[in-house]
Structure 1
Amino acid sequence: MKAAVLHAFDEKLTAKEFVKYEDVADPKITRPSDVVVRIGGAGVCRTDLHIVEGIWRSKVDVNLPYIMGHENAGWVEAIGPGVEGIKVGDPVICHPLVTSGHCLACRRGNDMHADDSVFPGINANGGYAQYLLTGQRSLIKLPKTLAPKDVAPYTDAGLTAYRAAKKASRHLLPGQYVAVIGAGGLGHIGIQVLAALCAAEIIVVDRDDKSLELAKTCGAHHLVKADGNEVEATLALTGGRGAEAVIDFVGEGEAVARGLAMTANDGFYYVVGYGGKIELPTIDLITTEKTIVGNLVGSYAELVELMKLADRGLVQLHTKEYKLSAANDALHDLHHGRIHGRAVLVP
Structure 2
Amino acid sequence: MRAVVFEEFQTFPSLTEVETPEPGPGEVLLRVAGAGACHSDVSVYRVFEKGGPGAQNPPFTLGHENSGWVERVGTGVSERIKVGAPYLVYGPIGCQHCRKCASGLETYCENAATLPYLAVGLGRDGGMAEYVTVPGHHLIPLGDADPVAAAPLSDAGLTPYHAIKKALPHLEGGGKYALVIGLGGLGQIGVQILKALTGATVIATDLKDDARDRAEANGAVTVAGGEGQAERIRELTRGRGVDAAFDFVGASPTIATAAASMAQGGRLSVVGIGTGTHEFSFFTNPYESYVTNTYWGSVSDLWEVVDLYRAGQIRPEVERYSMDEALEAYRRLEAGEVTGRAVVVPNQS
Q: Bin the TM-score by the shorter chain.
A: over 0.9
Q: Aligned to 1:111, which of 100, 103, 106?
A: 106
Aligned to 1:15: none
User: Aligned pairs, how many?
Assistant: 338
Provide the rounded CA distance (Å) in 2 between the counterparts of 1:95 and 1:311: 17
Aligned AA for 1:158?
A: G
Give, in angstroms, the shift of residue 223 of structure 1: 0.8
Provide the rounded CA distance (Å) in 2 between the counterparts of 1:51 and 1:232: 36
Give, in angstroms, the shift of residue 59 of structure 1: 3.4
Whether 2:257 is the aligned partner of 1:261: answer no
Whether 2:26 is the aligned partner of 1:33: answer yes
Q: Is the 8 A contact 2:15 2:327 kept in 1?
A: no
Whether 2:159 is the aligned partner of 1:164: answer no
- Structure 2 CA distance for partners of 1:294 and 1:318, relative to 1, 3 Å: same
* Residues 4-37 of structure 1: CA deviation (Å, up to 9, x unaligned): 11223337xxxxxx2222210111223x201111
* Residues 240-269 of structure 1: CA deviation (Å, up to 9, x unaligned): 121111110011141111111111121110
Aligned AA for 1:103?
A: C
Give, in angstroms, the shift of residue 340 of structure 1: 1.7
- Structure 2 CA distance for partners of 1:210 and 1:128, relative to 1, 3 Å: same
Whether 2:338 is the aligned partner of 1:339: answer yes
Aligned to 2:59: 65
Provide the rounded CA distance (Å) in 1 between the counterparts of 2:49 and 2:217: 34
Q: Give structure 1 regions of 4+ aligned residues with deviation exceeding 6 angstroms.
A: none
Aligned AA for 2:329?
A: A
Give, in angstroms, the shift of residue 194 of structure 1: 0.4
Whether 2:274 is the aligned partner of 1:275: answer yes
Q: Is the 8 A contact 1:41 1:73 kept in 2?
A: yes
SS of the residue corresponding to residue 223 of structure 2 reads: strand
Identity of aligned residues (%): 36
Runs (5+) with no aligned partner, structure 1: 12-17
SS of the residue corresponding to residue 185 of structure 2 reads: coil
Aligned to 2:233: 234
Q: Is the 8 A contact 1:73 1:152 kept in 2?
A: yes
Aligned to 1:88: 83
SS of the residue corresponding to residue 170 of structure 2 reads: coil
For 1:269-308, list aligned pairs within 5 A: 269-284=268-283, 288-308=287-307
Q: Aligned to 2:16, which of 12, 22, 34?
A: 22
Aligned AA for 1:83?
A: V
Aligned to 1:205: 205
Query: Structure 2-normalised TM-score?
Result: 0.92
Whether 2:35 is the aligned partner of 1:42: answer yes
Give, in angstroms, the shift of residue 62 of structure 1: 3.6
* Residues 176-234 of structure 1: CA deviation (Å, up to 9, x unaligned): 111110111100000000000000100001110000011012221x1100022210100
Provide the rounded CA distance (Å) in 2 between the counterparts of 1:121 and 1:284: 44
